[in-house]
Structure 1
Amino acid sequence: MKNNIRMIAFAAVLATSLAHAADDANVLTLAGGIAGGPRFSGADEHVVGPALGIDYQMANGLYASSLRGIGYGRALGPVSASVALGYRGGRSERDRAGLGGARGSTALRGMGDVKGSATVMVQGGYEIVDGLELSAAAELPLSHRENGRTLSLGLTGTLFDRAADQVTLALSANLADADYVRTYYGVDAAQSAQSGYRRFTPKAGLYEVELGMTWRHQFDERWSVTAMAGITALTRDAARSPLARKDTAPSGAVLVGYRF
């Protein structure tokens, strides 16, 4: 799922990596640190754990990243676009945790496991003015298509950018089709009988809003530290789901990055 420690941490890794992608022909960034967030979307449980990330950006636009997947992206003036193959993690009805974040909870017992999906991610951005970018990203599953599709609309602004420090603020609205919201927030008849949750059939549309702030400090041309804090709020049917024990959740990460 989108809201887990791994995605939070790797977003910070990406901020560190892309800050210097234009400086060299090829940039490899490794990062490690600690991150925390909800056990699953709507959980009232939070977990904290180690996080690792890697991002390799080539001068010709090709990249391989633990967040962005394997893809190609280019920018032409204020317009940018990319397409990549990636992976959307699954969800377990048992307490499971791996490096970078939780993958399930016993609070979901009886709901069955959600299989992970290979995906294609299509993204586009437009820099409205210097330091303010409007973006859109669609995630389309290639396997387990019953898990559904999502669309994210975002606005990112640079609040401070001087010398070795940069602070950005990002706001995004996330929408999904009926398959996605039924997979992650719905409860069918069989699941209701096994889990005890009441039956619930959510509708497609806006299901989540996110606000996050990132601070990056560059020690020298290779070493940096990135800190990220955010809050996620479920909306509409997702917030009314019986699985949503808490409709708002904080998240955060602190990572040290090294670029080659």
Structure 2
Amino acid sequence: MNLRLISTAAACLLLPSLALAADDSQFLLGGGVAAGARYSGSKQNTVAPLILLDYSHASGFFASTMRGIGYGGQQGPLSYSAALGYRGERKEKNEKGVFGNTGSAELKGMGDIKGSASAMLSLGYKPVSMLELNVSADVPLSQRENGKNFHAGVTAQLLDAPNDQLSLSAAAGFADSKYAQTYYGVTAKQATTSNFKAYQAKSGLYEANLMLSWQHKIDQKWSVTTMLGANHLLREASRSPLTQRKTSPTGAVYVSYAY
């Protein structure tokens, strides 16, 4: 299951809450469940455990199961972060793991796509306090043949109360030629070993997504976060023979405790 949309939305909620004093730090521990398509374009859904471990220091350093390991900061209306993360694998069989299914039998003959270490870069700009424009990049450092993807979006803070934060995010995704071919293309060799026709996927706009996120603070330590969204494949991705469903739901709910 692709958790990028959930991770991005979670990061938007985590960052504002970590206004730490100099030399201070905070650790969040949480758990819940996440749901989404088994792979991008799949008609099958899967549910998996969601584990949140998030450490932040006032210096800007963070280590998180949602955000990776890196550094972030804010200068006036500008925010930025650079992190080392992990892009999950895609299996050609229905293989159950600790964090849910990692593939589908319907991909038989397509071969596995290996997971990769990735540089996750983001930049945000707030023209007004309740609105943020953002761009991000996922650049593989290993398995570079998997390709890069980029996203541009906007997040609107619909509610910013002492105990409740409600936000709505929308974004568009762009793929380079390697990413498009890896996740949505079918090579001539794959066509001979699978049930799919050969398909050359080109670079460009490939998805749009929407996510509504609500974080409710029970007290100073405990909070509950709920997310509900959808991902819609476009252009080359939507025409891929691997795509059985253009629009798929995404959701998550988890409880966290702040140390």
What letter matches 1:17 in structure 2? L
Counterpart of 1:211?
210
**Greater Cα offset, 94-103 or 193-202:** 94-103
Which residue in 2 is equivalent to 1:222? Answer: 221
Residues 256/19 of structure 1: CA separation in 2 closer, same or farther (3 Å cut)? farther
CA-to-partner distance for each residue in 1:126-184, whole Å, 9 max, x for gaps? 00111100001111111111000111101000011123111100000000100001000
Instruction: Render the CA deviation track for 1:59-115: whole Å, top value 9, x for unaligned.
Output: 100111112111111100000111111111111001123333431111100000001
Conserved 8 A contact 2:230-2:250: yes
After superposition, where does 1:15-30 map in structure 2 within 5 Å?
15=12, 17-23=14-20, 25-30=24-29
- What displacement does 1:10 show? 4.2
1:252 is matched with 251
Q: Distance in 1 between matches of 2:246 and 2:80?
A: 32
2:95 counterpart of 1:92: no
What residue is the counterpart of 1:200 in the other structure?
A: 199
Match of 2:172 in 1: 173
Q: Which moved more, 1:100-109 or 1:180-189?
A: 100-109
**1:20-61 CA distance string (max 9 Å, x none):** 211452111111011211000000000123211211111100
1:33 and 1:256 in contact (8 A); partners too: yes
Q: Give the Cα separation in 2 of the matches to 1:246 and 1:60.
A: 44
Indicate the percent of aligned positions where both proteins have the same amino acid.
44
**CA positional deviation for 1:201:** 0.3
State the distance in 1 between where 2:29 and 2:12 align: 12
Give the structure-2-normalised TM-score.
Answer: 0.95
Q: Against the structure 1 CA distance between its residues 9 and 206, is the aligned structure 2 distance closer, same or farther, given a 3 Å change threshold?
A: closer
Query: Hey, what's the Cα distance between the residues in 2 that align with 1:131 and 1:138?
Result: 23
Q: Are positions 1:76 and 2:42 aligned together?
A: no
Checking the alignment, whether the CA contact within 8 Å between 2:86 and 2:117 is kept in structure 1 is: yes
- Look up the match of 1:184: 183
How far apart are the structure 2 equivalents of 1:180 and 1:145?
9
* CA distance in structure 2 between the aligned counterparts of 1:188 and 1:240, rounded to whole angstroms: 15
* TM-score using structure 1 length: 0.94
Aligned 8 A contact 1:16 1:224 in 2: no
* Distance (whole Å) between structure 2 residues aligned to residue 157 and residue 168 of structure 1: 6
In the alignment of these two chains, the number of paired residues is 257
| Inter-CA distance 19–256: structure 2 relative to 1 (3 Å threshold) | farther
Aligned mates of 1:164, 1:213 — CA distance in 2: 17
Q: Is the 8 A contact 1:16 1:257 kept in 2?
A: no
* Conservation of the 8 A alpha-carbon contact between 1:82 and 1:124: yes
* Distance across 1 between alignment mates of 2:84 and 2:192: 37
Question: What whole-Å deviation, never above 9, does each CA across 1:186-243 have from its counterpart, x for those lacking one?
Answer: 0011101110201100110010100000011001111000000000000001000000
